[in-house]
Each structure stands twice: as C-alpha cells, then as structure tokens.
Amino acid sequence: MIKKRIFLAALALAAVTSLAPAVQAADQVVRIGWLRGPNDITLAKSRGTVEKALADKGIKVEWAGPFPAAAPAFEALNAGAIDITAGSSTSAIAALAAKIPLVVFAYQKMAPGSEGIVAKADSGITSIKDLAGKKVAVNRGGTGEYLLMRGLETNGVDPKSVQRVYLSPSDSGPSFTQGHVDAWATWDPFLTIAEKAYDGKVVADGAAIKSDNAVVLVASSEFATGKADQLQFVFDVIKSENAWAVANKAEAGAIWAKEMNVPADLGPKIGENNAVPTTAVSEADVQQIGAVAKWYAESGIIPALPDVASGVVSLK
C-alpha cells in the first residue's frame, strides 16, 4: 500500500513537472493592441521588429486589432484582453477618470500639424470664431472634444454657442463629407484625409488651438507591475523604431499610409506630422498631462480629476 502511494505521488510530481514549461511559456506572452494610426506601435508591428526582438528573449507577441481609436483599445485593456496599446494623452485622461487600470509609460508631444479643426473649403468658416452657431464633429472625451473646447476657449468663443456632435472617427468622415456637420475636430490620419480627399481646409492646427495633447503608450497596471521586464523590452524596441521614423519620415509615412489603408500620396505629410520623438515619461510630462486633466475636469468633459501621477510608470 505504501509503495502504491509512493508510486502515485511520483506520477503526480512527474505530471506537474511536465506542465511547468508550458505554464512558463504561456506566461511569456505580450498582447499588444494596435490602432489604425501613425504611432510607434503600428510602425513596429508593420516592420516586425517587436516579434524578432522579443523572440530572442523567449517571449511571444500576440497582436489584437486594429482598433479605430484609443477608446475601444482601452476598453479591451480594461477587459484584460490586451496588455499594451497606444492613444492620446486626452483619451488616457478620460480612461483614468473612468477608473480603467492603466499606466502611461511613453510620451510623444504631438506636432502642430497632426491635429486641428477642419471645415469645408467653401463653408465660409475661416477661423474658430466662425464656429459659433455651427455643428462640429468630435469624439467624446478624446482628442476631438479637447481640440474643439480648447480652441473655443483660446479664441473667446462661448462653448454653448457651438453644438458638439459626438461621433466616432469612422462616422465623422461621412458626416463631414455629406454636410451633416459644419466642421470636424480631429487628428491624423483623419485630418490629412479631410484636407486632401474631402475638400477640407484646416481652420486651426494644434499650435493655433494651443493644444497640449500628446500620443502616449499605455500598459495595464497589472502587466506593468507583474511583467516590468517585458514592458521595458517592448519600450526598448519602440524607442529604436521611433528613432528610425524620425530619421526616415517619408518611409515611416509610407508604412503608416499602408497600414491605415489610406492613399499612398498622403504618406509624406503623415510622416512629416507624426514622426516626432518618443521618450520615457518625465516629471514635466506628468505635469503637462495633469494640467490637461485639470482643464478637462474644470470644463466638465470628465466628472472628476484623476490621480495622474499614479497613472504613470517610469522606464529607462
């Protein structure tokens, strides 16, 4: 009887031992959500650099997407379906305010030409002041709403005089072309598409609006805490990809245009607008995100001011 128990125990131990490598392998997986947007993650996916670099470390990469914008990507992160994704600092602020457990680990100040407010060339709208009494398409709580509200404030226009029409980026284009809205507050590639393909004219870019928006890379809090080494590995690749893009704007723009399924002739401008430096999040960046968050709360875009400092992780 004793020998039988010893034999069964040995079998159980052997079974556990045989499963150990599989469990370890399953743990060595990074799930990345990518957006149809001109960001470093989309570039790295297209060039295959993340898979290669992490494979050398025994880590597998699983891609999810494409997501049309940050909001649905953040929802996937909140649901535990992905570990890492990209978005705007404004969308990250809205996510933090909604208690989505994410942390920002990279910061890329948006170039002025990569965001703005566009109107039809024949609309008679030539400045932000002309938006009074008009309908403007924006994405709720994201970059579009921020650009519109910030632009109105900067130019002394009563926000109550402008009707915000809440639409997803994919729905805003048709509404803009069909005249259901008078203007569209948006970012690349949508801004370049509106200007080049939809007979649009940029009324105000990020500089005129005095935008403090940025592209950010985020990870789930659980992933950043439990797999900090893997997050650093991914960020190392991202920094390398970003340096390549900054040095090769036209080539980066061509890759982004292909990944976003937009005409190739839009590539050069998209590359020029979006191939800008990405860095780890500095204290100054935290303060900048915090200032936008405060403005968001005061403007009523979010219900309460989130703790931005706790929503940031410092990497090398």
Q: Cβ distance 87 to 40 under 8 Å? A: no
CA distance 263 to 160: 37
Q: Which stretches of the chain score pLDDT less than 70?
A: 1-26
Tell me the CATH number for domain 10-17+21-110+213-311: 3.40.190.10
| Residue bearing tokens 């125990």 | 9
- Architecture in CATH for domain 112-209: 3-Layer(aba) Sandwich (3.40)
pLDDT score at 141 = 85
CA distance 194 to 199: 7
What is the DSSP code (8-state) at residue 151?
A: H
DSSP reduced 3-state for 71: helix
CA distance 269 to 254: 10
Here the contacts of 23-26 (C-beta below 8 Å, separation 24 or greater) are 25/60
pLDDT score at 142 = 87
Q: What is the dihedral of CA 149, 153, 155, 160, to 10 degrees?
A: 70
CA distance 134 to 56: 55
Residue intervals of the chain classified under CATH 3.40.190.10 are 10-17+21-110+213-311, 112-209
The residue type of 94 is A
CA distance 180 to 193: 18
CA distance 157 to 277: 33
Token pair, residue 4, equals 């039988």
pLDDT score at 282 = 96
pLDDT score at 131 = 97
Helices marked H in 178-282 — which ranges?
A: 190-197, 206-209, 221-226, 228-247, 249-259, 267-274
pLDDT score at 69 = 86
